[in-house]
Structure 1
């Protein structure tokens, strides 16, 4: 498999919405397409917010003269932290379709983002994982992520 990463643009919104729907269903997260579409458009339009990549099998496309098979997507969002010495980033979503899991696609996606971060001025890279998701935790540790003695806590702001 020849994995490639394509920065998503407006022409990719349909496949991204489909992938996000799949991811949210598997993770039991709420999904509201009417909210997701404008959020995708905004992150694609405003580079200061982050970047979205499609994960593709480009080798298959070259061999068969067809569009690349979409294996998943990854979303990187940007922040700024005194604790982490400047610009930091959060892997907001990483989704690999079930048919392509266990084949190194997730590892390659994480390594890709790790390689891109220095060119974006990123000092620290974060992600979150469900406590019960031992396979994902193993993968994240394998590529260099460390546990902190902290919990990610959230408070939704009224709008």
Structure 2
């Protein structure tokens, strides 16, 4: 059965499923997970499409993945850029070309929104995903993505 991709709306009942899948991704990547904070962040994204968009992937109505694209702006990349901020596919559905379809969807969405460059981050040890991303045209800039939380 083909996997269906649906863009999330601010009032989508699928938000609960995406929040659950976010927990699965964060657990897989050993990232601290706060369900309430994750829900708030997702709802904030969906409330203003200037921030980006999110999609849920379903196999026969069963949620099995999601993707999130967020917008930014870069002088280096000459305008609006975007991050494939999160991409998660349940292990049972990996290796079926679903990630490729999700990235193609993200690229089309970005092209329709004037995005000049699409970025993503991948764990250093995840060489399988790195190979897939390189095959799809992503390149390593031989830099580190560093983060500092800004508190209020």
**What's the offset of the Cα at 1:69?**
2.4
Q: Deviations over 1:10-44 (max 9, x none)?
A: 31221011100111101000111121111111111
**What is the aligned partner in structure 1 of residue 45 from structure 2?**
43
Alignment match of 2:20 (pick from 10, 18, 21): 18
Matched, 1:136 2:136: no
Matched, 1:89 2:45: no
Alignment match of 1:73 (pick from 66, 74, 92): 66
3-state SS of paired residue (2:146): coil
**What is the aligned partner in structure 1 of residue 33 from structure 2?**
31
Quick one: distance in 1 between partners of 2:107 and 2:91? 23
Structure 1 window deviating more from structure 2 (125-134 vs 8-17): it is: 8-17
Taking structure 2 as the reference length, the TM-score comes to 0.94
Q: Runs of 4 or more off by more than 4 Å in structure 1?
A: none
Matched, 1:117 2:110: yes
CA-atom RMSD in angstroms: 1.1
Taking structure 1 as the reference length, the TM-score comes to 0.90
* Greater per-residue helix proportion: 1
Aligned residues: 150
Quick one: distance in 1 between partners of 2:43 and 2:136? 30
Q: Any unmatched runs of 5+ in structure 1?
A: 62-67
Q: Deviations over 1:41-100 (max 9, x none)?
A: 11111101110101123xxx4xxxxxx222200010000111101100001100000110
Matched, 1:103 2:96: yes
**What is the aligned partner in structure 1 of residue 7 from structure 2?**
7
